[in-house]
Amino acid sequence: MIDARLLERNETGTDPRHQRGALDLARRLPALLVAAKEIAATVMHGVHGRRRAGVGETFWQFRPFVWGESTSRIDWRRSARDGRIFVREREWEAAHTVWVWMDRSASMNYVSSLAMQPKIDRALVLGLAMADLLVRGGERVGIPGLTRPLATRGIVERFAEAMIDEEKRGDGGAELPPAEALAPRTQAVLVGDFLSPPAAIETTIHAMASRGALGHLVMIADPVEETFPFSGHTEFLDVDSNARLRVGEAETFKRDYLVRLAAHRDAVRAICRSRGWSFALHRTDRPAAEALLALRTRLEAGGAAAPAEAS
């Protein structure tokens, strides 16, 4: 028989690590900013992939003239060199807005010995690196409910200041971004563990996408959360309350746990798919650059990629 019971509130005693609550961003962000910029520089090879023909002032390329288009676009000097007719194309310069949200709730502080860094650190590095890449590509980037869209090269520092101010106000621990409609033709990047009930996640995503905004959800997971390597007498602590669960023969819970975890992820994946959003799973024992490169590809495609990508 399994020995398990949920402790009453007056029986609990939490580790100081959990008593701290909100992350001390002022202490940890400087190193994370450096890491984010280094990863962004690694991923960004050459010119940003958003470049394409369109309305703008910057020359992009010559291409052969297509019968039926306006002759005013012909570059006669270039055409005279090869005896063929060439058109001068300009680079598309219309900036888009991308909203980047990074989960800083209590559950994100989890880290095991198998991980490269805590989930919250990985979420911040990915989100800030993505913002840096987007601004270099000419886009505007903001944090939902916290900053307006910005196009400054010091975007990671601006985001850091905004998050520190929010932390000081005690408002930085939300498990989900604001459930507010985003403008059409914008995109959202949501990075977190998304362990909230699927109904709450659905409400948030459907609200954000209600006017046609596209989105990309990156679910961060510690390897221990996927393998459940616990056995014997084990105590589990709820980071969002004072509750603890003491069990004997913890290994007997493994199968049920993995089934529920898979069902939860399938539900979140289906929610994303219902709105045309992409879904990706990223483990903290994998390099951050892998997830950033995949995310950048989805953003530059302007839509959802395969909904079950893992990195």
* Per-residue pLDDT tens listing for the chain (311 residues): 344 444 443 444 444 443 343 446 677 888 888 888 888 888 875 434 444 444 444 555 677 877 777 777 788 888 888 878 888 776 544 568 999 999 999 889 888 899 999 999 999 999 999 999 999 888 899 999 999 999 888 999 999 999 988 888 877 788 999 999 999 889 999 999 999 999 999 999 999 999 999 999 999 999 999 888 888 888 887 776 778 888 888 888 889 989 999 999 999 999 999 999 999 999 999 999 999 998 888 887 765 444 445 56
**Could you tell me whether strands 214-221 and 278-283 are parallel, antiparallel, or unpaired per DSSP bridges?**
parallel
Considering only CA atoms, give the Rg of the chain: 23
- pLDDT the model gives residue 21: 38
Any bridge partners for residue 278, and if so which? 216
- pLDDT the model gives residue 30: 82
**Which H, E and C letters describe the chain, residue by residue?**
CCCEEECCHHHCCCCHHHHCCCCCHHHHHHHHHHHHHHHHHHHCCCCCCCCCECCCCCEEEEEECCCCCCHHHECHHHHHHHCCCEEEEEECCCCCEEEEEECCCHHHHCCCCCCCCCHHHHHHHHHHHHHHHHHHCCCEEECCCCCCCECCCCHHHHHHHHHHHHHHHCCCCCCCCCCCCCCCCCEEEEEECCCCCHHHHHHHHHHHCCCCCEEEEEEEECHHHHHCCCCCCEEEECCCCCCEEEECCHHHHHHHHHHHHHHHHHHHHHHHHHCCCEEEEEECCCCHHHHHHHHHHHHHHCCCCCCCEEC
- pLDDT the model gives residue 242: 77
Cβ atoms of 233 and 250 within 8 Å: the answer is: yes
Give pLDDT tens digits for 239-260: 767 788 888 888 888 899 899 9
- pLDDT the model gives residue 303: 52
- pLDDT the model gives residue 250: 84
- pLDDT the model gives residue 298: 85
Contacts of residue 2, Cβ cutoff 8 Å, sequence gap at least 6: 247, 248, 249, 252, 253
- pLDDT the model gives residue 167: 84
